[in-house]
Amino acid sequence: MRHHIDHLSSDALPWDKLSSGVYCKMLNFNEDSGDRTALFRFVPEEGANPPSIPHYHTVYEELFILEGKMTFDHKTWLSDQSYVYHPPYLVHGFKSAVPTETIFIGRSPRNLDFNYPKAIAKDEPFYIDNKTSTRDFAYTKVPIENNWPVLIGPSQKTIGRRFVLSEDKLSKEGSCLIRFYKGLTVPVRESGYETYNEGFILEGQVEAEDGTIWRKGDYWFRHPGKPVQALKVTEDTLVYSSTGG
């Protein structure tokens, strides 16, 4: 599991160069397992070139695009606030391209391996060797917020909206976008959450009782059972969130 992090400003981190035109800001990394969440920046003018032939990984790959544009097949184009989930053993990348500078959040349980099947019978995602997954692959262009389901709090009042990006049918582990409305207060949770809780602020501001402030670009990862202090949403806030496990 990723490290417990209460507050991290991604703006304060430098971009580390991985290869020509490819940069990374590591938000959370487990040195033992390789489990990680990171920001990636692809700059095609500097030589960034994603794999352009079909491949698969033996672990999942999850991307949330913050800005820019990319495709895995030249059919579905993904831009700001688009989402990708590739389960393990899903063949994809039939005609990948990143035509403009693109920044995205990437999640995977370890560094990605690349495997290239020899015989390709179709040009759309499929599982190798009849593998399956309880968490379906997803290419999601997020709809306008007015169409997101309303989020109801413990007091049965509307506290925001929530849009599920993908979710495991069995474990319920998944990722979503949550809009929290200004003025929402969250009481202290001495016993923490039942599952891990990971978040990245896309816009807005949240303040804790000790004065800690989360703004755009700030990140957290909370282990289950860890105390969480009282919070107040001081501006309408949009969060990319992953929970479960």
Q: What does the pLDDT look like over 119-135, one tens digit per residue? A: 787 788 999 988 999 99
pTM of the entire structure?
0.95
Question: How far is the C-alpha of 42 from the C-alpha of 57, rounded, in Å?
Answer: 20
The pLDDT of residue 154: 78
What is the percent of the chain with per-residue pLDDT over 70, rounded to a whole number? 100
Question: How far is the C-alpha of 208 from the C-alpha of 75, rounded, in Å?
Answer: 44
Question: How far is the C-alpha of 163 from the C-alpha of 173, rounded, in Å?
Answer: 14
Place of tokens 């804790």: 208
Could you please state the CATH topology (level 3) that the domain comprising 145-244 is classified under: Jelly Rolls (2.60.120)
Question: How far is the C-alpha of 220 from the C-alpha of 199, rounded, in Å?
Answer: 5
Q: Work out the pLDDT band at 118, boundaries 50, 70, 90.
A: confident
**Tokens, residue 232:** 């107040």
Domain map (residue ranges) of the chain: 5-141, 145-244
Question: How far is the C-alpha of 222 from the C-alpha of 220, rounded, in Å?
Answer: 6
Query: Looking at the predicted structure, is the pLDDT value of residue 70 above 90?
Result: yes
**Mean pLDDT for the stretch of residues 12-16:** 98
Query: Looking at the predicted structure, is the pLDDT value of residue 245 above 90?
Result: no
Residue pLDDT, tens place only, 165-182: 999 999 999 999 999 999
Question: How far is the C-alpha of 183 from the C-alpha of 106, rounded, in Å?
Answer: 31
Phi-psi category of residue 93: left, alpha or beta, with phi > 0 → left and psi -120 to 50 → alpha: left
Statement: 5-141 belongs to CATH 2.60.120.10: yes
Neighbours of 184 (CB within 10 A): 19
Same fold yes or no, 5-141 and 145-244: yes
**Mean pLDDT for the stretch of residues 207-221:** 97
Q: Is residue 213 within 8 Å of residue 233, measured between CB atoms? A: no
